[in-house]
């Protein structure tokens, strides 16, 4: 099985969403080994949001069903979307209940060397559509599903209130549209609002 790594590299120069901690890795040498202290946000790089991210009493990352994070996934090519993914952009793809969906937008082409505020994001209505469709996971190729600065948090809440996993910060630049196997397990952080993940795809 050939794996395609869709994870962002974690280093002190990793881009972070404004307000998130900067990555710091401090290594200490002993006589026999090297041990590092890793400072990283729960929403840094390629990561998963848990319902706790948006809801005070929402499920923590440790209590989400792992089934969402391993299994069939469909990558949709939304490269023609300029700024906001709308319901009609998704409807074309006949998304079904239980599907895992990743969207490849122009974000993947722009890359991840510099943070862009005007990344392609999900509209509140499109998030509601995905929630109503009851998909099992939604992934996007930037650090947030929501437009920066928009007070309407439905892109998160419409998914998280139904325990639909959100996978953010995936790099789909080397991936074409189609069906794959996804593996993107979160760390088992007690009550966590999110977790970094090493996300990979395999061709089916
Ligand atoms: Zn997040």
Task: Encode pLDDT of 137-147 as tens digits.
Answer: 999 999 999 99
CA of 43 from ligand 1 middle (Å) equals 5
Mean pLDDT value of segment 183-192: 98
Question: Three-state SS string across the chain, please?
Answer: CCEEECCCCCCCCCCCCCCCCCCEEEEEECCCCEEEEEECCCCCCCEEECHHHCCCCCCCHHHCCHHHHEEEEEEEECCCCCCEECHHHHHCCCCCCCCEEEEECHHHHHCCCCCCCCCCEECHHHHHHHHHHCCCEEEECCCCCCCCCCCCCHHHHHHHCCCCEEEECCCCCCCCCEEEEEECCECCCCCCCEEEECCEEEEC
Mean pLDDT value of segment 159-183: 97
Instruction: Kindly report, residue by residue over 90-108, the tens digit of the pLDDT.
Output: 999 999 999 999 999 999 9
Token code pair at residue 181: 């196997």
Q: What pLDDT is recorded for position 204? A: 77
Quote the CA–CA distance of 42 and 134 in Å, as a whole number: 25
Q: What pLDDT is recorded for position 135? A: 98
CA of 17 from ligand 1 middle (Å) equals 9
Instruction: Kindly report, residue by residue over 188-204, the tens digit of the pLDDT.
Output: 999 999 999 999 999 97
Q: What pLDDT is recorded for position 35? A: 97
> At 18, is the pLDDT very low, low, confident or very high (cuts 50, 70, 90)?
very high
CA of 34 from ligand 1 middle (Å) equals 30
Dihedrals φ, ψ of 115, to 5°? -80, 130
Mean pLDDT value of segment 154-173: 97
Q: Which residues are catalytic?
A: 53
> At 14, is the pLDDT very low, low, confident or very high (cuts 50, 70, 90)?
very high
Q: What pLDDT is recorded for position 1? A: 86
| pLDDT averaged over every residue in the chain | 97
- Cross-strand pairs, 181: 72, 202
Instruction: Kindly report, residue by residue over 107-126, the tens digit of the pLDDT.
Output: 999 999 999 999 999 999 99
CA of 167 from ligand 1 middle (Å) equals 8
């Amino acid at each position: 099985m050939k794996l395609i790594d869709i994870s962002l590299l974690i280093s002190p120069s990793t881009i972070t969403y404004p307000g998130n901690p900067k990555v710091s890795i401090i290594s200490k040498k002993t006589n026999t080994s090297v041990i590092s202290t890793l400072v990283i946000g729960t929403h840094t790089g390629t990561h998963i949001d848990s319902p706790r991210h948006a809801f005070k009493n929402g499920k923590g990352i440790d209590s989400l069903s792992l089934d969402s994070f391993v299994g069939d996934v469909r990558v949709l090519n939304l490269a023609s979307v300029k700024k906001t993914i709308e319901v009609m952009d998704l409807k074309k793809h006949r998304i079904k209940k239980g599907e895992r969906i990743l969207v490849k937008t122009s974000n993947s082409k722009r890359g991840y060397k510099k943070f862009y505020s005007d990344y392609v994001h999900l509209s509140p209505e499109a998030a509601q559509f995905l929630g109503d469709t009851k998909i099992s996971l939604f992934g996007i190729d930037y650090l947030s599903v929501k437009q920066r600065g928009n007070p309407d948090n439905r892109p998160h809440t419409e998914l998280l209130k139904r325990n639909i996993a959100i996978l953010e910060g995936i790099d789909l630049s080397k991936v074409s549209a189609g069906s794959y196997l996804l593996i993107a397990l979160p760390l088992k952080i007690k009550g966590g609002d999110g977790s970094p993940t090493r996300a990979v795809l395999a061709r089916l």
